[in-house]
Structure 1
Amino acid sequence: MNWLVLGLAGVVEIAWSQSIKPTRNFTQPLPTLICFVLAAVAVYLLSYAMQTLPVGTAYAVFTGIGAVGAITLGIVVQRDPLSAGRVLALSMIIGGIVLARVTNPD
C-alpha cells in the first residue's frame, strides 16, 4: 500500500514541478497557492509512505518519479530539447527507481 502512496506522491510532485513557473516568482496569488498546496500534499504523501519504507529508498523513488515526469512534460508540453543524453538520463533514473523497488526488503 505504501508503494502506491509513494507513487501517488511522485505524481503530485510532477504536478508541483509544473506549477512553479506560472507563479512568476511567487507574484501571482492563485498559482502560488496552488503551488504551495501541491508541495504540501506531495510531502504529506511522502511522509506517509515513509512510515514503512526506508527513508532513503522512499525519497530517491519520490524524486526520481518527479524528475522523470518533469523532464518528460518539459519535452512534451514546453518543447524542451530532446537529445540522446536526456533519453539516457531518463532511462537511468527509471532503472534506478525499478531497482530500488525490486531490491527493497518489505
Structure 2
Amino acid sequence: MLAWAALVAAGVFEVVGVQGFQMLTRSRIVPGLARLVAGFGIGLTLLHMAAQQIPLGIAYAVFSAIGTIGSTLVGVFVWHETLGLRRGGWLCVVIGAIIGLKLCQ
C-alpha cells in the first residue's frame, strides 16, 4: 500500500515539474527552473521507490497517466487552456488504459 501512495505522489510531483516548464515559457526563469528540478527530482525518486514493489510497466504507466491527466487539468484550471470534448475523451481513454493494465496484472 505504501508503494501505491509513493506512486501517486510521484505522479503529483511530475505535474509540479511540468508546471515548471510552463513557468519557464512565461519567462519566470528562476522559480520555473526550481519547480522543474524539484518536481521531477522528487517524482522520479518516488517512482523508483514504488517500482521496488510494483511492476515497472504498471508503475510507469500510472506515473505517466497521473502526469498527463494532472498536467491537463492544471492547464485548464490554472493556465486557462481549453479542454474540449475530444481532449476530454482522450483523457478518458488514458484512464481506461491504466485500469485495463491493472486488471491484467
Fold agreement, TM-score > 0.5:
yes
Alpha-carbon contact 1:26-1:32 (below 8 Å) kept: no
Q: C-alpha offsets along residues 33-77 of structure 1, whole Å, 9 cap, x if unaligned?
A: 231111110000000001111111111110011000111111122
> Is residue 14 of structure 2 the alignment partner of residue 13 of structure 1?
yes
Taking the aligned partners of 1:84 and 1:76, their CA distance within structure 2 comes to 16
What is the deviation of 1:17?
Answer: 0.9
What amino acid does structure 1 have at the position aligned with 2:82? P
Task: Quickly say closer, same or farther: Cα 1:25–1:43, change in 2 above 3 A.
Answer: farther
User: Which residue of structure 2 lines up, in the alignment, with residue 45 of structure 1?
Assistant: 46
Distance 1:31 1:18 in 2: 7
Q: In 2, distance between residues paired with 1:27 and 1:79?
A: 18
Residue 23 (structure 1) shift? 2.5
1:20–1:35 contact (8 Å) kept in structure 2: yes
Task: Tell me by how many angstroms 1:25 deviates.
Answer: 8.4
Question: Secondary structure at the residue paired with 1:78?
Answer: coil
TM-score, normalised to structure 2's length? 0.86
Q: TM-score, normalised by structure 1?
A: 0.85
CA-based RMSD of the aligned residues comes to 1.9
Q: Residue 86 of structure 2 aligns with which residue?
A: 85
Within 5 Å, give how 1:1-106 maps onto structure 2.
1-24=2-25, 28-104=29-105
Q: Is the 8 A contact 1:6 1:49 kept in 2?
A: yes
- Structure 2 residue runs of 5 or longer lacking an equivalent are none
Identity of aligned residues (%): 28
Aligned pairs, number: 104
Counterparts in 2 of 1:99 and 1:19: CA distance versus 1, 3 Å? same
- CA distance in 1 between counterparts of 2:22 and 2:80 reads 15
